[in-house]
Amino acid sequence: MHFHSRASAPAALPAPAHAGDTVVCWSRMQAEAGQSLDVIIRRKDLEREANGGLFLWGVGNAPSRFTHIFARMRRPISAIFSVMKSKPKRIDAEAEDLVLWRAYFDSAGKPRPLPPASIVTSRAGTSAGRKRAHYALMCQSNVPLQINRGGARFDPLAFRNVGEQGGPVGSSQVTALLRQVAMQRENASYEVNMTADLVEGYWVRLCDPVLIGPAEKADLDNLSSCSVVDWAQLAARLRDRPALDSPDGLLV
């Protein structure tokens, strides 16, 4: 499978020449699916290196239709990642039952396998039922992924959601497509902790889930001595298992 590659995004956001010129995808990150943020970053960097710069960042909410429009236009959009101010929810930090997603829907609605070394996990669900949907940002970075501290700031108050309403960024919006409408304050409340470029489908819906157990989760946690070759082999092994059944044949 061929993936488009571009240079990595700058650490700081440029000031817009005109109001609304700058569009970014902002995502707040924290522990997820039973993994600490440091382990997630390490895992994503192994994935990025094994895929030639491409990695998928799992998110819980669906994109707006404008994301798909920009993806078809191939409009350059930076993905901006900021560490959440609040502690992770216990259900996320201590999740035990996990789902691994192996495919995504392209712009035509056709399922496509994830890149060979890509692993996206999420909580399997709650006592009320299985998790039925999960999403991912398709990102490209030509530099190693790491959490940068004390650098550029990100000011949510300088942005509005892309769309007809153009509402302000909501406190519950973990990931959002935003248009810059004002200059950012130097004392903005968030940092730009990591950046990448959105590529291919930009922000996609995942499908073809499989359950993984404690042993597989331990493999995903113990990455301190994992090489890129080791990671590629682990990804292939974890993805080689029977798919989950569901009423629609796609999701659980």
The per-residue DSSP string of 41-84 comes to HHHHHHHHHHTTSEEEEEESSPPPHHHHHHHHHT---EEEEEE-
In a domain, residue 244? The reply is: no
In a domain, residue 221? The reply is: yes
More confident position, 187 or 42: 42
The percentage of the chain sitting over the pLDDT mark of 70, rounded to a whole number, equals 82
In a domain, residue 197? The reply is: yes
Name the residue range of residue 122's domain: 23-239
For residue 125, is pLDDT > 90?
no
Mean pLDDT of 74-96: 80
In a domain, residue 169? The reply is: yes
In a domain, residue 205? The reply is: yes
Q: What pLDDT is stored for residue 241 in this prediction? A: 79
In a domain, residue 210? The reply is: yes
* Whole-prediction pTM: 0.85
Residue 46: pLDDT band (50, 70, 90) is very high
More confident position, 211 or 46: 46
In the chain, DSSP assigns E strands to 23-29, 54-59, 78-83, 98-105, 111-113, 120-123, 125-126, 129-130, 135-140, 153-154, 159-161, 175-180, 190-191, 194-212
Mean pLDDT of 185-199: 94
In a domain, residue 149? The reply is: yes
Q: Is the distance from CB of 226 to CB of 234 less than 8 angstroms?
A: yes
More confident position, 217 or 243: 217
Minimum mean pLDDT range among 63-77, 91-105, 182-196? 91-105
In a domain, residue 198? The reply is: yes
Residue 124: pLDDT band (50, 70, 90) is confident
Mean pLDDT of 91-119: 86
Q: What pLDDT is stored for residue 235 in this prediction? A: 95
Mean per-residue pLDDT over the chain, rounded: 84
Q: What's the total number of domains in the chain?
A: 1
